[in-house]
Structure 1
Amino acid sequence: MFIIAGLGNPTLQYRGTRHNVGFDVIDTLADKYNIAVETRKSRALIGKGIIAGQKVLLVKPQTYMNLSGESIGELVSYYKVDEEQELLVIYDDVSLDVGQLRIRRKGSAGGHNGIKDIIRHLGTDVFPRIKIGVGEKPKGYDLADYVLGHFSREEREMMEEGYQKAAEAVEMILAGELDEAMNVFNRKAKPKEAIE
């Protein structure tokens, strides 16, 4: 079984914010594969289903971002998944352009508190992840205010494309094509005019 965890903050006030793009990708996958992410377990909302022929557990931790590791650590332990092969974490990245993806097999938290907590609870930074760009923080902005802010209408459209790409990347990773997914999605998006 694969655990696919999207990071975010619970409660309505955070819906649609930059910090909640992990939840948005989980919602995209849930809609596409008709998986209800409504069961409460290990301080998360979870839903079981099949994607790309693999049993999956879609997860939205409800612990707030900074404590994401508590929930994910419990689920990894309960379902006895191998985090290096069967855990996939999806989250926001302020160092990438809006809607751009970056797929990695492992790596540091890069200043992301949710990932920092997951690494602390798992005791390793070796687990696949999909980062989704939310754009760089404007000068003079507080980082917390920026990531808890909402997208403009134009940015939202770009993010919707990013969510669809992330869903495609998830399918490839589940099919055992992580390297291929990195080759396809880690390139910078071309300007619209350049696309046929």
Structure 2
Amino acid sequence: MSDYDILFNKAKKFHGHICPGIVLGTRLTIAGLRELGMNPNEPTHNLIVYMEIDRCGTDAVQAITGCSLGHRSLKHKDFGKFAATFVDTTTGKAVRVSILERNRAEHDKLNPKEVIKVLSEVPEDEILKIEHVRITIPKEDLPGFPVGKATCSNCGEQISDNRQIVVNGEVLCRNCAGESYYTVTGRT
């Protein structure tokens, strides 16, 4: 069994089924790790990955690298692009790998099994764009214990990693400062 097959099966098991996103996420991860000189079959404790989409391929990246939100080694930047930036925190070296959509119209004509086969076999340079990039990771975003803690003067909830906002001298969480993604409809 090839390295690709082993890693693809790991991603498939984590995700729960086979789909084009798992194929592309596997290929994207293999390329990103290779460019950083990392072995995808070994734990990567000095890796942070920024995902630009929250779809199937993200599960492949998480399954293969072991990076996760809980470990603060997987970051989500909601740009809506099937792309990931892999950062070696030891060397500072970073590479962004994105999916090229050149043949998307042709792939859309195929049935799902055919698409998966084509995407797994097509030459890498036909589906991936690899760019060496520079990225500065704020200390608040690094794995480890929280950097700075505050308490929101409005709701009383704790805010970690300097995510508070000061408005007219008051420390507020982003929700109370008007950046909330939810509306409270009741309390129990």
Q: 1 or 2, which has the higher helix percentage?
A: 1
Bigger Cα Rg: 2
For this structure pair, what is the TM-score category when the shorter chain's length is used for normalisation? under 0.3
Task: Specify which structure has the bigger relative contact order, considering alpha-carbon pairs within 8 angstroms and separated by 6 or more residues.
Answer: 1
**TM-score (norm: length of structure 2):** 0.28
